[in-house]
Every structure is written in C-alpha cells, then in structure tokens.
Structure 1
Amino acid sequence: MLMSLHIVCPHCHATNRVPADRLGASPNCGSCHQALFAAQPAELTESHFNRHIANNDIPVLVDFWAPWCGPCRMMAPAFTKAAALLEPGMRLAKVNTEEEQGLAARYNIRSIPTLALFKSGQEIARQSGAMSEQDLVRWAQTHNK
C-alpha cells in the first residue's frame, strides 16, 4: 500500500493527499490546480496558520518577521533560496508580525527574525536572528530528525 501525505496548498489552503513517492514530481492542488511546491515561502495569516501547522504531514519552518526589520529584509532572499532547497520535504512559510500580532503574541515572539520549526502541529525548534541560506538549511535539517 502506498503511503500518502497530507499537504496544505500554499495558495488556496486546501488539504491535499499526495502519495509520498510523488512529492518530488511537482504535484498540483486538487482544488485550485496550482503547484503545491513553488520554491517560495507561503505567506500565512492567522486565519489559515493552524491549518498549515496541524494538517501538513511535512514539517513547516516559519519565519516570523516584520517589514521594518533590517535583519528580516536581509534574510528574506536566503529564506526563499532555502525553500527551493528544502521543498518538498519541508514547507517554508512567513508570518508578518506587524499584521499578525495575535500569532506573534501566541508564539511569544520577542525578537525578529525568529524561525520556528513545527512538526505534527507542535513547535520542535526555535532560533532568533538572521541566518544565511546555508545556515538556514543546516539548522532546519538538523532539527528535523
């Protein structure tokens, strides 16, 4: 029997069932027909944050950031490049703490940028401060064992 994984679409937020051996084959969403993995971080708001954290069978790495934050803006290109390297085994997402203050408060975000790695709905690792692409990938892979 083929194992399938639940993958939440970064565009329409529908939960898709994808055979595990087809994750790397550029699967599309069954609802909106867009790519489930586009080598881009998903922009999450409070209204669909929980769906991504709880319903994805792959880990979700969240960058809590704000537009006025210099280190956040500096790290943004590295985070996007890391998405291309870590997908489809991990979803990368961004939360704008300026617009989503409730999420920032719920997860006790005290400094930005802060990375939080979630697996099976639970936070399993956290790191504050800007990182390079290589450091992001290494950190994510180390904590996703």
Structure 2
Amino acid sequence: MSGNRQIVCPGCGATNRVPTDKPAGVGKCGKCGNALFNGKPLDADAGMFSRQTGRSDIPVLVDVWAPWCGPCRMMAPSFEAAAAILEPEMRLLKLNSEVEQGVAGRLAIRGIPTMLLYLEGSEIGRISGAMNTQQIVGWARDQLSKNSAAQKAT
C-alpha cells in the first residue's frame, strides 16, 4: 500500500493527493484539470505563496525578486532552467517583492535576489545573491540533504 503526497495546483491552488508510487510530473489537478507541473517557475501572489509553502508535501524553492533589480533579471533565466531540472522533485516560485511588499516584509527580505527553501511549511534554507542554474540546483539539493541528515540525527 502506498501513501500520498499533497501537491498544490499552480493554477487554481487546490491541494491534490498524489500517490507516492505515481509520477507527480504527469499529474493533473482534480479540481481544474491543469497539469501539476510544467517545468517553469510559478509567479506567486501572497495567497499562492501561502498555499504552496503551507500545504504542499514537496519542497518549495522561492526566488524573491523585483523588476528593477539587475541581478534578479540576470538570474531569471537560470531560475527557469532550474525549474526544468528540479520539478517535480520540488516546486519553484517567483515572488515579486515590489508587488508583494507585505510578504517580503514578513519574510525579513533585506536584499534581492534571495532564495528561500521551504519544507513542510518551514523555511529550511536562505541565500542571497544571483546564481547560475547549477548553483541554484546544487544549493537547493544540498539544503534538502542537510535537512534530511539533521532529521535522521534527532
């Protein structure tokens, strides 16, 4: 008997139960029928950010950015390429700190671009500064590995 993962739809925000023995990459939302993953980061408003980080069983990697930020614009293609590599292992979100100032304030964002990694509703990693695709993928996987090792040690 297999278990289920909770995966939040990028379209409607509904929480879907996806069996762990089924490939999540081909899953569709039970409410709206959209694909659960498309290999691209999701532009998230405050509500979608909250649903994705709070209800999903998979890790969520968030790029906090702003349109006026040169390093953010430089990193955008790398973050998009990282989504094609990391999904469906994790969800990638882009949070515009200019539009979502309240969320950025609650997250204590002091510089951008800043990446945050969430697991089961909690932030497990944070790093600031522009990165290339390999650095993004490596950092995210390293943070998950460290968190897994810390969980096993307790």
Same fold (TM over 0.5): yes
* Closer, same or farther: CA 122–78 of 1 in aligned 2, 3 Å: same
Please report how far the alpha carbon of residue 34 of structure 1 lies from its aligned counterpart in structure 2 after TM superposition. Answer: 0.9
Counterpart Cα distance in 1 of 2:47 and 2:35: 21
CA separation in 1, counterparts of 2:23 and 2:140? 19
> Cα RMSD between the aligned structures?
0.9
Relative distance call for 1:47 and 1:141 in structure 2 (3 A) is same
Aligned to 1:135: 135
- 1:23 has 2:30 as partner: no
Show the 5 A alignment for 1:117-136: 117-136=117-136
1:108-119 matches, cutoff 5 A? 108-119=108-119
Question: SS of the residue aligned with 2:76?
Answer: helix
- Relative distance call for 1:67 and 1:20 in structure 2 (3 A) is same
TM-score, normalised via structure 1 length: 0.97
For 2:137 and 2:37, the matched residues in 1 are separated by 17
Aligned counterpart, 2:150: none
Q: Which runs of 4+ in 1 moved over 4 A?
A: none
Instruction: Report if the CA contact (8 A) 2:112-2:129 is conserved.
Output: yes
Q: 1:54 aligns to what?
A: 54
The SS at the match of 2:21 is: helix
TM-score (norm 2): 0.91
Q: 1:23-49, CA deviations, whole angstroms, 9 ceiling, x for partnerless residues? A: 345111111111101001111111222
- Alignment gaps of 5+ in structure 2: 146-154
Give the equivalent residue in structure 1 for 2:152: none
Q: 2:76 maps to what in 1?
A: 76
Question: Which deviates further from its counterpart, 118-127 or 16-25?
Answer: 16-25
Which is worse superposed, 116-125 or 41-50? 41-50
Give, in whole Å, the separation in 2 of the partners of 1:63 and 1:107. Answer: 12
CA distance in 2, matches of 1:28, 1:97: 29
Could you tell me the percent identity over the aligned residues? 54
In structure 1, what residue type is equivalent to 2:9? C
Structure 1 gaps, min length 5? none
- What SS class does the counterpart of residue 84 from structure 2 fall into? helix
Hey, what's the Cα distance between the residues in 2 that align with 1:120 and 1:102?
22
* Secondary structure of 2:17's aligned partner: strand
